[in-house]
Amino acid sequence: MFKLNYGDLVTVYIDEKRRYVVRLQPGKILGTDKGFIKHDDIVGKSYGESIHTSQGYKAYLLNPLLADHQYSIERVTQIIYPKDASYMIYLSSIGPGSKVLEAGVGSGYLTISLANFVGENGVVYGYDINEEHLEKARENLARTGLLDRVVLCKGDVRKELKHRDLDAVFLDLPDPWNALNSIYKVLKPAHPVLIYVPTINQVEKTVIGMKRSGLFIDIHIYELLMREYEVEEGATKPRTFMVGHTGYIVFGRKII
Amino acid sequence: MFKLNYGDLVTVYIDEKRRYVVRLQPGKILGTDKGFIKHDDIVGKSYGESIHTSQGYKAYLLNPLLADHQYSIERVTQIIYPKDASYMIYLSSIGPGSKVLEAGVGSGYLTISLANFVGENGVVYGYDINEEHLEKARENLARTGLLDRVVLCKGDVRKELKHRDLDAVFLDLPDPWNALNSIYKVLKPAHPVLIYVPTINQVEKTVIGMKRSGLFIDIHIYELLMREYEVEEGATKPRTFMVGHTGYIVFGRKII
Amino acid sequence: MFKLNYGDLVTVYIDEKRRYVVRLQPGKILGTDKGFIKHDDIVGKSYGESIHTSQGYKAYLLNPLLADHQYSIERVTQIIYPKDASYMIYLSSIGPGSKVLEAGVGSGYLTISLANFVGENGVVYGYDINEEHLEKARENLARTGLLDRVVLCKGDVRKELKHRDLDAVFLDLPDPWNALNSIYKVLKPAHPVLIYVPTINQVEKTVIGMKRSGLFIDIHIYELLMREYEVEEGATKPRTFMVGHTGYIVFGRKII
Amino acid sequence: MFKLNYGDLVTVYIDEKRRYVVRLQPGKILGTDKGFIKHDDIVGKSYGESIHTSQGYKAYLLNPLLADHQYSIERVTQIIYPKDASYMIYLSSIGPGSKVLEAGVGSGYLTISLANFVGENGVVYGYDINEEHLEKARENLARTGLLDRVVLCKGDVRKELKHRDLDAVFLDLPDPWNALNSIYKVLKPAHPVLIYVPTINQVEKTVIGMKRSGLFIDIHIYELLMREYEVEEGATKPRTFMVGHTGYIVFGRKII
């Protein structure tokens, strides 16, 4: 059985609100409000095993999943949450070896997910106009070990781009309608663009831009609402509070 | 530019309600209520180009995306729709090379998606107790060209299974609580199980089973509601009708 | 016990999809695709009892509730559905004796509800610019026996109105922002306006108009989604299809 | 114009999170974290006018609406929120003069609404088995001036009740299925029962109880989700957080 060692990535799970993704280093300590854990004490354990914090709380050692990173990456921007990221990725139909463009990368959370699904033989061209965002995205990608699948680029995707024949484009920009012409050119024919925007006005402008351009077809606008449930025998119900809004997803396919 | 040829897979898109995924064959004809299209006339065209039906309707030739297959596969069972399939796959964090188990495969729609994301170096063990379902899944997978990544197995996953060290398990069974012990054994430690059930009673039984077993942690229950929007300049609104319910997703991670 | 007689209003309920609100008349027949029922055979029965159609289906005789009328009124326009009508009425806090204005009345379905809640000592001023709508609303109100609580007025509420000191105003207009000044004048100080609009663009224009005018406070925008459930022992779940959108409700209170 | 005087009820509205329903008394002071307001300074003002707190914040003087009371009543139990209360009341089709039964009254928030809609000539029989709840409901009703329309009763509605010919029954009990026989007897034939329960298990038990009893028809189960929107010109979107669950509404009509 695989034994955790220095350099490995592990999700330390104490409870619903306390999960930490850490890369094991000699002498390092994970501090939490439920006590601390020495990295040295994790080494030699296996995924799935547990350990106790200095205050005696049980902490499980788990293999990091994509959704764990939302709690551990450092954020410089709003991230695209799993419910939306997952649907965008699914609709794009990317997979091992895909070459995709993403803009703006922001904190790099979607980038991590894209890098996971394109794999070692794929590539994510991650654009942002903000140097600080790129730097944070680089750090977050490095921590997750996926930086080698990503080419981070400082630049404005609303302007002419050098890429061609990409499998999909993912946009999280304030004005995606201004990037339609440039991203059209980098896409393989018939391949999709996935656009994430938080307001309905941006949806309207984007979709009208896409329709007027005549460059895209099969245009759809999606919004996902996610409810979580609490199960107790004989007393099962949805959680009292939920996230009521993150953003809208606009989808289209390039035609020629 | 890539030219379509016999043997290639193409999505023929006429409008919102008319999209067909076909594998090009000499002499074959795609019949629709908006006229027919000869496969022979598609050959030599490129993805992204259009062609006219015999009744003069424009039809776009698109590269097939995962979501297209829901309209073209033959169904012997209810399928797990993209909004749910995508979230299950995302939560599982599978990727290129992953080895996963799915039961029951039913019509094979989720299987197609899993096969896409695990890639050529991955494998999907697809179980069903129903021979007819397996046969239909085989046909649907063969049409999409992904059958070589899938091992279809007739069998009952509620009983001892020979697999070990799988990256994730996906269940769509009437009584998933009866499969918890057997699927626990096939999972890598700390790896996830994703369970799809249509009724809230099944959610309750599954979650109580998971909690009582002590075999899983980080248990969550999700429900996704998807709204689509209609955009007209100055008159944007959600669609009048929506799918109000498909099913619930139960998530958990194996502990040891 | 009350016995049904000619002139009485009764909801004939056969099943979920077959409910008819009829006023009993000698010699009249209610025809349905499950057989017919003679009004004469209903006379002498009590609410809560059942009768059989000519094809042998059981039909229950019920006292008409507000929501029954949505299935029986003749429509010349989209109606405001119970989930929205109820919330608008609740927020308005009208009750017995209230004096309210409604525009446009359309088919008169909201008018029926308002007339119910203001009672015999209240009054609903129902405006529409369309003569045909007013005529249909008059018929629908007459059928339900509530016409004497309603003053139907042909006129444009975006222009100066003669009413003063009304308890609440209900608007279902294409451009409610153009009626803000005129309806402000007819409202009692601090009393509410309830505005129903189907598109988000109308929401934006209305709310911006209200804010800029400085005439209203406590402005809120609500959207209600209604799910229905299907109960079977051990297999309870939401209905597969639901109405995904009707409209938005804008609320505000007059300040001076 | 109406001038506020001692004994009058007024909603003091400072902002979204600060609204207080007070009955004016000589020498009394309303304290808030934005400064205090003397009741004496409110007297002589009109609804719709504003006043300043001791810290200089503007406070509007509004006529109390039903929904205001949810922020000002003292709570001994969870209340039924406006979105649910309004739909229950609408479905019941009560109005001026109606006689209704409610159990349990809890803090009396639904009771306040029922009392508003039945008016001076109606009556609400409000049951609770808990003396403390009844006392709190009595206080809350007295504050709103609606106590004279309500008969508060200590008692268990699962047992034989003396009432007959009521227009509607509203239940908010842990086990409404045990009250079906007793409330059946107090209802007018064909009149409705409205049941509010927080868990889906209670929905199932209630509906199965209603179906098995053969006492009710037209049984429906509703759940309402409410989204609020934030409007800014060119940046309109739903609020980030929402209440994801309050409870379910079960509806049925008595047959004989």
- Cβ neighbours of A165 (radius 10 Å): 12
pLDDT of residue A43: 98
**What integer pLDDT is reported at residue A139 of this predicted model?**
96
Q: What is the mean pLDDT of residues B84-111?
A: 98
Q: Do B123 and B34 belong to one domain?
A: no
Q: What does the pLDDT read at residue C203?
A: 98
Query: Looking at the domain assignment, is residue A2 inside a domain?
Result: no
- Listed as ranges, residues in chain D with pLDDT below 50 are none
B231 and A222 Cβ atoms separated by less than 8 Å: no
Do residues B106 and B219 share a domain?
yes
Q: How many CB pairs under 8 A join B and C?
A: 59
**Are D77 and D33 within one domain?**
no
* Nearest residue in chain D measured CA to CA from B204: D201
C99 and chain D in contact, CB less than 8 A: no
Asked if residue D240 and residue D194 are part of one domain, the reply reads: yes
CB-based contact (8 Å) between D208 and chain A? Answer: no
pLDDT at A1 over 90: no
Q: Tell me: the pLDDT tens digits for B196-251? A: 999 999 999 999 999 999 999 999 999 999 999 999 999 999 999 999 999 999 99
A-chain residues within 8 Å CB-CB of B189? 1, 46-49
In this structure, the answer to whether residues A51 and A76 fall within a common structural domain is no
pLDDT band at B20 (very low <50, low <70, confident <90, very high): very high
Neighbours of C232 (CB within 10 A): 13
Residue D3 counted as domain residue: no
Q: How far is D43 from chain C (nearest CA, A)?
A: 16
* pLDDT, mean over chain B: 97
**Residues C21 and C136 occupy one common structural domain:** no
Q: Name the minimum distance, in Å, from the CA of B174 to any CA of chain D.
A: 19
Q: Closest by alpha carbon to B184, among B201, B203, B171? A: B171
Q: Are residues C110 and C82 in the same domain?
A: yes
**For residue A3, is it within any domain?**
no
Residue C4: inside a domain: no
Question: Per residue in C26-71, pLDDT tens?
Answer: 999 999 999 999 999 999 999 999 999 999 999 999 999 999 999 8
As a whole number of Å, the CA-based R_g of chain B is: 20
Q: Which one-letter DSSP state was computed for residue C210?
A: H
pLDDT band at A65 (very low <50, low <70, confident <90, very high): very high
pLDDT digits (tens, 9 = 90+) for A194-225: 999 999 999 999 999 999 999 999 999 999 99
- CATH number, domain of B79, equals 3.40.50.150
Using alpha carbons, select from C176, C208, C178 the residue that is nearest to residue C193: C176
pLDDT of residue B145: 95
B58 and B134 inside one domain: no
Q: How far apart are CA A233 and CA B206, in angstroms?
A: 11
Band the pLDDT of A42: cuts 50, 70, 90. very high
Query: How many Å apart are CA A183 and CA A193, to the nearest integer?
Result: 8
Predicted confidence at residue B90, as pLDDT, reads: 98
User: What residues 145-184 of chain A have any CB closer than 8 A to a CB of chain B?
Assistant: none
The per-residue pLDDT for C232 is 96
Model confidence pLDDT, tens digit, residues C118-152: 999 999 999 999 999 999 999 999 999 999 999 99
pLDDT score, position C1? 73
The residue among C245, C246, C248 with the most chain B CBs within 10 A of its CB, best to mutate, is: C245
Cβ D61 vs Cβ C202: under 8 Å: no
Tell me, yes or no, whether C1 lies in a domain: no
* CATH number, domain containing residue C35: 3.10.330.20
- pLDDT surpasses 80 at A88: yes
Between the CA atoms of D16, D22, D24 and D30, what dihedral angle is there, to the nearest 10 degrees? -70
pLDDT of residue A242: 97
pLDDT of residue B8: 97
Task: List CB contacts (< 8 A) between D227 and chain B.
Answer: none
Identity of the residue in C46, C223, C236 whose CB atom sits nearest the CB atom of D229: C223
So what's the pLDDT on residue C12? 98
Q: pLDDT tens-digit profile of D150-191? A: 999 999 999 999 999 999 999 999 999 999 999 999 999 999
What pLDDT is stored for residue C204 in this prediction? Answer: 98
Any D CB within 8 A of A231 CB: no
Q: Which residue of A has its CA nearest to B92?
A: A65
Is it the case that residue C231 has pLDDT exceeding 90? yes
Query: Which residues constitute the domain of residue A42?
Result: 9-64
Identify whether residues A97 and A143 lie together within a single domain. yes
pLDDT of residue B1 exceeding 80, the answer is no
Percent of chain C with pLDDT over 70: 100
Q: How far is C231 from chain B (nearest CA, A)?
A: 10
- Position B2 in a domain: no
The verdict on a CB contact (< 8 Å) between A204 and C201 is yes
Q: Is C204 on the interface with A (CB under 8 A)?
A: yes
Residue of D nearest to C209 (CA): D233
Higher pLDDT, C209 or A71: C209
Is C243 at the interface with chain B, CB within 8 A? yes
Query: Which among A18, A39, A64 is the end of a domain?
Result: A64
Q: What is the pLDDT of residue D1?
A: 73
Task: Return the partners of chain B (3 or more C-beta pairs < 8 Å).
Answer: A, C, D
Which residue of chain D is at minimal alpha-carbon distance from C201?
D236
B141: pLDDT strictly greater than 90: yes
Residue A8 to residues A2, A5, A23, Cα–Cα distance (Å): 11, 6, 5
Same-domain pairing of C184 and C219: yes
pLDDT digits (tens, 9 = 90+) for B147-203: 999 999 999 999 999 999 999 999 999 999 999 999 999 999 999 999 999 999 999
Is the Cβ of B67 closer than 8 Å to some Cβ of chain A? yes
Residues D143 and D194 in one domain: yes
B226 at C interface, C-beta within 8 A? no
CB-count exposure of residue A163 (10 Å: 0-12, 13-18, 19+): buried
Confidence at residue A103, expressed as pLDDT on a 0 to 100 scale: 98
Say if residue C167 is in the same domain as residue C182: yes
In a domain, C186, yes or no: yes
* Minimal C-alpha gap between C201 and chain A (Å): 8
Number of domains forming the structure of chain C: 2
Residue C3: inside a domain: no
Q: Does D2 touch chain A (CB under 8 A)?
A: no
**E-only strand ranges, A117-247:** 123-128, 150-154, 168-171, 192-197, 216-230, 237-238, 241-243
